[in-house]
């Protein structure tokens, strides 16, 4: 995939490695990884309950431009993508660095959470929007 040469080297190698491990063509994993840039639109929110608990939520509503499933009141891609949805724990040594909910084959993090007894916990999400 010629366009992969424009990516940072570590990121490009990760895409190649996922393709090798999954035994699929590199272009397939490349497309999965640029798909969000083309048809993103996930939504996140942060809210605080009356007792001070902070909630950070994200819907993975990828697929707005690919049609709707009127029977289930979702986007057409919602149900097919559920089988690819995974929770990943990133560790260094014996310590959990952060966790992420993502799609198998996706390189990088769209949603990440870090809980810690010693540091302030945090969460982040990446979203997209299209302006006129």
State how far the Cα of 108 lies from the Cα of 93, in Å rounded to an integer. Answer: 20
State how far the Cα of 115 lies from the Cα of 117, in Å rounded to an integer. Answer: 7
Whether 35 is catalytic: no
Cβ(30)–Cβ(4) below 8 Å:
yes
Which one from 29, 32, 42, 107 is the annotated catalytic residue? 42
What is the DSSP-derived secondary structure letter of residue 74? E
Active site residues: 42
């Amino acid at each position: 995939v010629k366009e992969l040469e424009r990516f940072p080297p570590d990121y490009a190698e990760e895409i190649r490695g996922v393709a090798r491990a999954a035994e699929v063509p590199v272009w397939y994993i490349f497309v999965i990884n640029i798909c969000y840039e083309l048809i993103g639109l996930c939504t996140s929110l942060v809210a605080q309950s009356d007792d001070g608990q902070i909630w950070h939520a994200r819907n993975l509503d990828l697929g707005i431009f690919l049609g709707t499933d009127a029977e289930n009141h979702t986007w057409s891609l919602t149900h097919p993508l559920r089988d690819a949805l995974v929770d990943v724990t990133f560790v260094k040594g014996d310590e959990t660095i952060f966790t992420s909910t993502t799609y198998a084959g996706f390189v990088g993090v769209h949603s990440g959470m870090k809980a810690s007894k010693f540091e302030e916990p945090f969460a982040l999400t990446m979203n997209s929007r299209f302006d006129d």
